[in-house]
Amino acid sequence: MNVSRNHRQRGISLVEMIITVAVIGVVAAIAFPSIGNVVGNSRETVVENVVETLNKATREFGHAQWDLALAADPSSADDEFAVLRTLQWREGGTDPNQFELHPKGPFMRRDWIPSSSSSSEDYRIEWTGRAWRMIEPGEAGTGLRVAFDGSDLGTSYIHPDDFKPVGYP
């Protein structure tokens, strides 16, 4: 191939390549930690939304039925499951299409089937005796484990015939 003097082929120099790699390194050093914070903040926001939903369901249950009051047991998740199952319960039948001026439930979606956890690596939700609160990773405590992959959603929970909701009059 014949190249004339006016049309010299030119590549990038070693200095230009080093500067480019350095700029990419600086941008990556700034961007990657920020991306990690976004994921962590997103998980915390999801858990806060679940806590808010549970507290709203607890208030609505209290307005339509009776106040939910159950002593908190920090050593197990039995209290959390008792209150959750009460919020998922429907008084007076199983027909969800039955019209009611004052709804009898369920106040919480019935297909949320969480597991319990005391692992300090998990986000958990704890019953305090009157309301729900978030337990963050690194904090001790037992509660309902929040799964971020949808594995806690499934077939609706079926209450046994002898089910007694928390505080049933």
Tell whether the model's pLDDT for residue 55 goes beyond 90: yes
Q: Domain boundaries in the chain?
A: 50-93+103-145
HSE-CB of 114 using CA atoms within 13 angstroms: 28
pLDDT confidence tier of residue 9, bands split at 50, 70 and 90: low
In this predicted structure, what is the pLDDT of residue 109?
A: 93
- 69-81 pLDDT per residue, tens: 899 999 999 999 9
Q: Chain-wide mean pLDDT for the chain?
A: 85
Query: Under 8 Å CB-to-CB from 43, ≥6 apart: which residues?
Result: 123, 148
pTM exceeding 0.85:
no
Q: What is the C-alpha to C-alpha distance for residues 166 and 65, in angstroms, rounded to an integer?
A: 11
pLDDT (tens digit per residue) in 113-129 = 999 999 999 999 999 99
pLDDT per position as a tens digit, 145-162:
999 999 999 999 999 988
Of 36-45, 63-72, 73-82, minimum mean pLDDT range: 36-45
| pLDDT over threshold 70, residue 30 | yes
Please state, in angstroms and as integers, the Cα–Cα distance from residue 27 to each residue in 13, 30, 41, 66, following that order: 21, 5, 21, 56
